[in-house]
Structure formats: C-alpha cells, structure tokens
Chains A and B, each alone.
Chain A
Amino acid sequence: MVIDDEVLAVLTAIVTVACALGIALSLPRSPEPFTAIGLLNEQGKIGDYPRVLVAGEPAKLQVFVMNHLGKAAMLKVEAKIGARGRIPSNSTPLDAPPVWERVVILGHGQNATIPVQIAVAEPGSNVALVFELWQYDASKGEWVYTGRWCHLYVNVTRGAP
C-alpha cells in the first residue's frame, strides 16, 4: 500500500471531525433572542455627545437598533424627556409622553441607524434624553416595552432673546 494505515486513520479522523462539525453547524438552532438599542452622536459614532443644548434648538443624534430575535420584528423607538433619577427601568418605561418616535421593521440579524433631532423646550440641568425600544406584539396587536433603553444627560440653557 502506498499510504500507511496509521496515516490513513489519522486523515480519516480529521475528515470525520470536520464533517461532524459541518453537520452541527448546518442543523437549525434557535439563537438566544435579543434586541438592542444604542445612542450614537451626529456622525454615527459612540462618544462625543452634545452635553449642552440651547432650549428650543434640536440636538442631532442617531439611534442604533438591532433585531436578533430569530424572526422579523417591528420595532419602535420613542424619545422622551426625563431628568436625573427619572429614567426608565428594565421593566417600566418612563411615564412621559413621547416627543418623537420612529417605527422600523427589521429582519433577523438586521440593524438600522436612525437620525433623530430632539429639541428641549425648557432650560434645565441634568435633563435626560431618553430613548426607549418597543416591540410590536402581533398576537396581541399592541406595542410592548422591551426593557431596553438608553439616555443622555444634557444641560439646557436659555436661548438668546
């Protein structure tokens, strides 16, 4: 025989392991489902956020949302105005009316970066710009808070008269 039995056994073992790995990867499996929301600056990057706003003038930001639920999802981002100590939790959204909202449908693994402009009418310190992520529950026909949110504290100064 041109090839040794031991060499053939080792090569066959390598091929067997590679094929077993291939089978394991090709079998359908349910991924760990999650959604994500993130706040980006005007250039669409993390950091360098505006810290001081002028009342009535819009803050330019971008919101990043991602769907990893294993199926398509209809997501809604709601922007609200809060304050230090008055922000959402993992289970409860902020009890304030949305000042801006945007609905987007994302397939599994897809993400979207949404430009947003929010103006705060009244001056104040430690004003929280809150962005909550909501998901449409097709079986109930209603929006459900995902428990995901992000916020940015800003100081709002009075504009020139």
Chain B
Amino acid sequence: MRWLALMPLALLACAAAQLGVERVAEAFKLVERLSSEGVDVSGQIAMLNRALELYAENRTGEADALVAEASRQLESLEQQLPRIRAARWASLGLTVAALAAVPPLFYYFFPRLYALAWAYARRRWLVRKRGNRR
C-alpha cells in the first residue's frame, strides 16, 4: 500500500525532471552556440547543472529562477558576440605579430645589448700600457 501512495509522488518528480530537462535544453542551445565561438560560458553551465539537480529534487521554482537567470546572461553574451569575436581575432593577430617580430628584433638588438652588457661588466677595468712593448 505504501508503494501505491508513493507512486504518484515518484511520477510527479519524474515529470518535473523531464520538464526541467526541456527547459534547460532551450537555454543550452545558446550555451552550445556561444561555446563553439570560444565564449567563456562556464558560469552559465554551472547554473544550468545546478538547475538540473534542483529539477531532480522537484524544487521547480528555484530551478526555473536559475534557468531564467542563466538565459538572461546568455542572451546578454549573445548580444556582445560580435565584440567578443573581434576582440578574440585582434588578440590573436597581436599575438602572432608579436611572435613574428621577435626573431628580427633579436637579430638586430641582441648583439648591441650584449656588447653594452659586456662593456658594463668591465666598466671598472683599467687599460694599462705594457712598459716593454713599443
């Protein structure tokens, strides 16, 4: 008899979890899109995972609020996507340009800097004329 009494509760929890997965799946579409563009969505992923746990515990209200907050943040990130993409490409371009510039700069400056360091290390040296030599 106790089984029969618990059955509706179990079915209710199962239905809530199923509904929760569907709601999280809606938000996940943006997570997938943004993450494939290289945007950091780890915070939103953690929120959605927490929401999935809450749905499994039948705490639908708290879970819904988390999903809504994650969706709001994801939509905000989506609006910033062109700027984020441009910043990422600019950063990559600068990195490549900086690394490409190192060999010629090294070739030009290293002997000069080395000579300066060499002279600095010997700045207290005295040049003495050998007496017997002419």
Contacts and interface: CB of A to CB of B under 8 A. Distances in A.
B32 A73 contact: yes
Interface in A1-19: 1-3, 8, 11-12, 15-16, 19
Contacts of A23: 95-96, 99-100
A72 B21 CA distance: 16
Interface size class of A (residues with CB under 8 A): 20 to 34
B52 A72 contact: no
B33 to A, nearest CB: 8
Contacts of A141: 25
Interface stretch (B75-83, B107-115, B124-132): B107-115
Give the secondary structure class of A's interface. mixed
Interface string B32-69: 11011010011001001100100000000000000000
User: Which among A16, A19, A103 has the greatest number of chain B C-beta atoms within 10 A?
Assistant: A103
A106 B45 contact: yes
Contact of B99 (A2, A3, A26): A26
A74 B25 contact: yes
A146 B43 CA distance: 26
Contact of A8 (B42, B45, B96, B107): B107
Nearest to A108: B35
B103 A16 contact: yes
A72 to B, nearest CB: 4
Contacts of B35: 71-72, 107-108
Contacts of B95: 23, 26
A72 B102 contact: no
Contacts of A136: 25, 28
A161 interface: no
A136 to B, nearest CB: 6
Contacts of A104: 49, 52
A72 B70 CA distance: 15
A73 B32 CA distance: 7
A55 interface: no
Interface of B: 21, 24-25, 28-29, 31-33, 35-36, 38, 41-42, 45, 48-49, 52, 92, 95-96, 99-100, 102-103, 106-107, 110-111, 114-115, 118
24 contacts: A1-B111, A3-B111, A8-B107, A12-B103, A12-B107, A12-B110, A15-B102, A15-B106, A19-B99, A23-B95, A28-B38, A72-B31, A72-B35, A72-B41, A72-B45, A73-B32, A74-B28, A74-B31, A104-B49, A105-B48, A105-B49, A107-B45, A136-B28, A138-B32
